[in-house]
Amino acid sequence: MTYSAQDYYDADNAMDQALENWEAGIEPYEKVEQAESALSSVITYLRANGTMPKTRHEMLEDTLDLLYPEAASREIVTYEGERYQRRFRPLKRGKGGGVVKWEKSWSLVLKMSYE
């Protein structure tokens, strides 16, 4: 499926509306999750084809993913003189409580000075 910038604005507005309706008690949270998933799909598509530019951090994460595809959670790697830590967090849980989808990210490890 292809998406346009208009699809992004529509999905973003749908997400805002779903949140408002959930906060007002009009709709279940499931509607928010559906809107969030739709918005995520549009953003992923637009960034993949270059319509929506990636942030510097997203480009860095792409590079680190390519260089260290097998990095384990909490593993620290060095790239261009900086240290980064791989993190995995539960993104979505199933009805039984088990993790269905994981969020992967890289974070800069701050240098500690010991005096």
Position 114 in a domain:
no
**Rounded-to-integer distance, Cα 80 and Cα 60, Å:** 11
For residue 115, pLDDT beyond 70: no
Domain identity same for 4 and 34: yes
Structural domains of the chain, count? 2
Domain identity same for 58 and 27: no
Domain identity same for 43 and 65: no
**Rounded-to-integer distance, Cα 53 and Cα 72, Å:** 28
Position 62 in a domain:
yes
- 0.75 exceeded by pTM: no
Bin 78: left if φ > 0, else alpha if -120 < ψ < 50, else beta. Answer: beta
**Rounded-to-integer distance, Cα 48 and Cα 40, Å:** 12
Residues pairing with 76 in the sheet: 85
Domain identity same for 46 and 74: no
Q: Residue 76 has which token pair?
A: 């620290």
Domain identity same for 7 and 33: yes
Position 115 in a domain:
no
Q: Residue 95 has which token pair?
A: 């009805």
Question: Alpha helix (H) ranges present in the chain?
Answer: 5-23, 29-48, 56-67
Domain identity same for 1 and 49: yes
Q: What is the pLDDT of residue 113?
A: 61
Domain identity same for 45 and 60: no
Q: What is the pLDDT of residue 101?
A: 84
Dump pLDDT digits (tens) for 40-88. 999 989 988 889 998 899 999 999 999 999 999 999 999 999 999 999 9
Domain identity same for 60 and 21: no
User: How long, in residues, is the chain?
Assistant: 115
Q: Which domain holds residue 87?
A: 54-109
Domain identity same for 10 and 29: yes
